[in-house]
Amino acid sequence: MAHPRTSTPAPERDPPAAPGPEGRRRSAWMAAAAAAMLIVSGILLVRTMGGGSDAGTASRRRDVIDAETGELFRDFPIAEGARFPWTNPKTGTPTLYPAERCYWTRDGRATLEPTFVFVKEYADIDEDTTCPDCGREVVPHNPLPPEELMIEAARARGARDPGGRDPGGRDRGGRDPGGGDPGSRDPG
Ligand SMILES: [Zn+2]
């Protein structure tokens, strides 16, 4: 008499030694790293090969100031190798010079919003230049105030402007969760 083999399920086994989630994550990470390295080396290759053709080398931008009008041009495009004075497109005269920045305030502190200054030395004028705002001397490649003053200025700015552009999404002035305003409808 044969035994009825009714209770034997289909052979379904879990692969016990298969690479677990940890191993899988690791190989994914390695693939990502390899892809990143490929991208980086591609960029480097393009940069090396394309030297001088166009990408950002034809002109650069800097902040310049007009020696006569005092007008500031932010990110003014300058042809590679062109020396100042550059021509002011508004007046047509070559009176644009590098704008130096003074980060001092009148009371001897630092600010993150500098005063832009035309330094006479750039125009071969043999005179010292002083900042019109704070009266300190301004020189070519004007140095920053001491680091601790700059840090203090950054802190002060953060305090003055609390979360102005903070993407942290603080709950301020939240809406009334109650919703409706019961007295708004006109009963009559
Ligand atoms: Zn100043």
Cα 110 to Cα 103, 104, 157: the distances in Å are 5, 5, 11
pLDDT for the residue 95: 98
Distance 171 CA to ligand 1 centre (A): 38
Query: Ligand 1 centre from 72 Cα, in Å?
Result: 15
pLDDT of residue 160: 79
CA of 130 to the centre of ligand 1 (A): 8
CA of 144 to the centre of ligand 1 (A): 11
Q: Provide the token pair at 44.
A: 């480097």
Which tops the pLDDT comparison, 68 or 46?
68
| Angstrom distance (rounded) from CA 20 to CA 23 | 5
Q: Give mean pLDDT, residues 144-164.
A: 88
154: its two tokens: 């950054």
Q: Where in the chain are the domains?
A: 59-160
Centre a 10 Å sphere on the Cβ of residue 96 and count the other Cβ atoms it contains: 26
Question: Does residue 172 or residue 130 have the better pLDDT?
Answer: 130
What are the phi and psi torsion angles at 10 (to 5°)?
A: -60, 140
pLDDT tens digits, one per residue of 8-39: 555 555 555 555 566 677 777 777 777 666 65
The two structure tokens encoding residue 11: 């052979």
Task: Tell me how far the alpha carbon of residue 59 lies from the centroid of ligand 1, in angstroms.
Answer: 30
Span 101-125, pLDDT tens digits = 999 999 999 999 999 999 999 999 9
Neighbours of ion ligand 1 (CB under 5 A): 102, 104, 115, 131, 133-134
* Predicted confidence (pLDDT) per residue in 77-86, tens digit: 999 889 999 9
What pLDDT is attached to residue 115?
A: 98
| H/E segment holding residue 116 | strand 110-118
